[in-house]
Structure 1
Amino acid sequence: MGYPPEPPEPDDDEGRRRERDTEPIARDRPGQGGGDDPSSPYGRDSGGYPAAGGGGDGYPDEPVERTTWVYDQETDFISEEELAGLRAEAGTPLATRRVLPLEDEPSTLVARYLFPTERYRGEWKRHWIHLTTPILVGVIATFVLGYLSGFLAGRDSGALTTAAVLLWFGIMGWVAWKIADWWYDRFILTNKRVMVVNGIITRKVAMMPLTRVTDMKYEQSPTGRALNYGTFVLESAGQEQALREIKNLPNPNELYLRVVEEMYEPQAVEARLGKEADEAKSDDGA
């Protein structure tokens, strides 16, 4: 009767590594108190495994193989090319927006509405899309009334020409009023509340404490996504509030992160501001 053939030599790296990483261990006999005593025949070796033993207690006399799993740097390492595929370039839709630095001081327009114990977090004018209607009206009025006044002037209609010019001045005055109203219209965030301040002659101030905000969302139309503006909706426990919907706010994702962080992680905001202040002082000292 012939002997069984010898196992073939491993011809791959996995087989050689598995053969290299196996070592014999032995089982301890039950009921023996060898412990960690090296002099005991049933003690434990320096690696914490039972020492060799044998006998008729049901345990094999031959050692048992133990497989050690080893991290293979060559096969498990992520290359720089693979990491590059996971990184999103700045400006791409997959890129994560970072929270922009906070302004240091409020403008004179906003400072009068803040009390000393609250901390200013930022102010925002509405997106320029808010001026679309006034600008379009002004452009159309300029072309139409300009053509009309020239046409009437050629027919020696002085009164009608003057009326057309005065009408154009009236429309452009209305456009300028809308632009000024847009400039003074601010959305304000502090560590205690959100506010909207608007109006030139009649000032309106609406506010809501952050502790009262139970739900907040922002909506973006396809145009809003393309031009980066949106509408914020704030809910406050089903009650009527002075500040609920704010339209045409710029950078809605950035603003959303600001408000949510201020509501749920105020300590993180304080820590970041403290770090930025320390860095600014070190730069000034240098």
Structure 2
Amino acid sequence: MTTPEPPDGEDPGRRWEDQETEQFARPLDDPSEAAGGGDPGVTAGGAYYVVDEPLPLTDEELAALRGEPLAPPLVPSRRVLPLEEEPSSIVQRYLFPTEKYRGEWRRHWIELIREILIGVAATLLMGYATGYMAKHNISSGVTIVILLWLAILVALGWRAADWWYDRFILTNKRVMLVNGIVTRKVAMMPLLRVTDMKYVQSPLGRLLNYGTFELESAGQEQALRKVDNLPNPNELYLRIVEEMYEPEAVEARLGRISEGEFDEDDGT
């Protein structure tokens, strides 16, 4: 068997191996073992190569070999956002002591788009009407228009306050929907009863990052079945699915976060 030679013009500082015998090639310390007349550049598998000097290890690689902890990456790979520590005062009263709070969300501001448009249109009409009536010396009409405009703003403000108190809540046991200011409504569904879940995003929802969640429970009608206009639907979907199927992963992540914060406070 003849010894393969390096290609013409090949840089002697580069390594070249026979592709068919690459897995069998090994450098030989003893030139007498070389196949091909004692050429030290030939391996037992018949591959010719020139041995390069090994590349030096970086500080991070040396730290990993010594078992030292590595610095956190600049861009975190976490697929879900950090969990909130404490529920708000609006939500706290609806949680029992052994229940573990996972997060709460207000509906997306798109929920108020109709009220925003009505407020802008009413303001423009009020300005035009009061200007017209003031020009024609209709003082009583100006007063009526301003009072109507204030009434519209009060109604829109009440609707905005209702949106503020409307919360979607996730715990380790259930999902909840709380809404209403004077008449409070609380709907909930145990996570163990959820048999199917999906979220839908329209083109506008994908642009503004909101969606509609639909939850099914054993084919029965539930109080909490469809929730419109929730923000960050992919984030919320991951939270719910992880809580349903991998609750120990949530607990483990919470433990790592707490330990990391403690170490950082200690300055270690």
How would you bin the TM-score normalised by the shorter chain?
Answer: 0.7 to 0.9
The residue that corresponds to 2:230 in the other structure is 249
* Cα gap change, 1:14 to 1:206, in 2 (>3 Å): same
SS, match of residue 231 in structure 1: strand
Shift of 1:19: 9.3
* 5+ long unaligned stretches in structure 2: 8-15, 27-43, 53-74
Q: Which moved more, 1:273-282 or 1:247-256?
A: 273-282
Q: Any residues of structure 2 matched to 1:202-241 within 5 Å, and which? A: 202-241=183-222
CA distance in 2, matches of 1:21, 1:206: 67
Identical residues among aligned pairs (%) = 60
Name 1:18's counterpart in structure 2: 21
Instruction: Give the structure 2 partner of residue 198 of structure 1.
Output: 179
The number of residues matched between the two structures is 218
Secondary structure of 2:99 counterpart? coil
8 Å Cα contact 1:10/1:16 also seen in 2: no
CA apart distance, 1:17: 8.0
Equivalent residue of 2:229, what SS?
A: strand
Deviation at 1:206, TM superposition (A): 0.6
1:187 maps to which of 168, 173, 183? 168
Who is 2:34 aligned against? Answer: none
**Shift, 1:247, TM fit:** 0.6
Q: Which amino acid aligns with 1:146?
A: G
Superposition TM-score, scaled by structure 1 size: 0.70
Q: For the residues of structure 1 that align with 2:223 and 2:4, how far apart are their CA atoms?
A: 81
Q: Matched residues in 1 for 2:84 and 2:103: separation?
A: 6
Equivalent of 1:131 in 90, 109, 112: 112
C-alpha distance 109-68 of structure 1, shift in aligned 2 (>3 A):
farther
Question: Cα distance, 1:10 vs. partner?
Answer: 3.5
CA RMSD of aligned residues (A): 2.9
**Distance in 1 of aligned mates of 2:46 and 2:2:** 21
Closer, same or farther: CA 117–148 of 1 in aligned 2, 3 Å:
same
Q: C-alpha deviations, 1:41-83, integer Å up to 9, x for none?
A: xxxxxxxxxxxxxxxxxxxxxxxxx9699xxxx9xxxxxxxxx
When normalised by structure 2's length, the TM-score is 0.74
- Corresponding letter in the other structure for 2:158: W
Q: Which residue of 2 aligns with 1:122?
A: 103
Among 174, 177, 183, the alignment partner of 2:158 is 177
User: CA–CA distance in 2 between the matches of 1:16 and 1:117?
Assistant: 63
Which ranges of structure 1 fall in alignment gaps of 5 or more residues?
1-5, 24-65, 75-89
Q: Does the aligned pair in 1 maintain the 2:4–2:46 contact within 8 Å?
A: no
Question: Distance between the aligned counterparts of 1:235 and 1:117, measured in 2?
Answer: 26
